[in-house]
Amino acid sequence: MATTTADFKNGLCIVFKDDLYTITWFQHVKPGKGPAFVKTKLRNVKTGRTVENTFTAGVKIETARIERRPYQFLYKEGNDYVLMHTETFEQLNIAEELINAPQFLKEGDSVEMVVHADTETPLYVELMPTVILEVTYTEPGIKGDTASSTALKPAEVETGARVMVPLFVNTGEKIKINTEEGTYMERVR
């Protein structure tokens, strides 16, 4: 599907240098001299890397139709993750490289798969922005360590992932984790 720079909007997926990119920022510029142009920041759909590019105003751009689909993580099979579409119950094996934070994925978790709608190719799988996991092991806190969040210690959560947590967090407690950054957010009661 072809469009022009006049149709740019944040989130639009375009084909750029034979790869898929989403527009994360754009600005139309009309200088006093010379032709108008559009400055953009583009994020590679597969790698997540961001690039800046300037397009001449009005130039034709090929867009790609991508869809976000609801899936549930069932289990791990070798290096693949088996996911089930929550509406059609169709099961799919997905490579670990396509998942944004596989170390925090627990059986039964809901995820979103981003699919290139024209070719039905899975592009990547995103976990929810935060997950709640139980701490399975961490060194005990020392008496007197209160709600200070400056000092951190390593903790292992139920999926086997390691996260740095404040000293007051203990084994058996549930914590909220930011899946994008892989960081501790708060203790959950």
CATH 2.30.30.30 is held by the domain 2-62: yes
Backbone angles phi, psi at 6, to 5 degrees: -65, -20
Q: Which two tokens stand for residue 142?
A: 């020392």
Mean pLDDT of the chain: 90
Rounded average pLDDT over 135-145: 78
pLDDT per residue over 92-126, tens digit each? 999 998 898 999 999 999 999 989 888 888 988 99
What pTM did the predictor assign? 0.75
CATH 2.40.50.140 is held by the domain 130-188: yes
Question: Which residue's structure tokens are 């130039």?
Answer: 59
Domain ranges of the chain: 2-62, 66-127, 130-188
Who's near 70: CB < 8 A, 6+ residues apart?
Answer: 85, 86, 87, 110, 112
Burial of residue 121 (number of CB atoms within 10 Å: 0-12, 13-18, 19+): exposed
User: Do 2-62 and 66-127 have matching folds?
Assistant: no
pLDDT per residue over 156-189, tens digit each? 999 999 999 999 999 999 999 999 899 999 999 8
Q: Is the pLDDT of residue 144 over 80?
A: no
- CB-CB contact of 151 with 145 (8 Å): yes
Residues 83, 94: Cα–Cα separation, whole Å = 7
Q: What is the CATH number of domain 66-127?
A: 2.40.50.140
Residues 77, 84: Cα–Cα separation, whole Å = 13
Would strands 19-29 and 66-77 be described as parallel, antiparallel, or unpaired?
A: unpaired
Would strands 60-62 and 50-56 be described as parallel, antiparallel, or unpaired?
A: unpaired
- CB-CB contact of 98 with 45 (8 Å): no
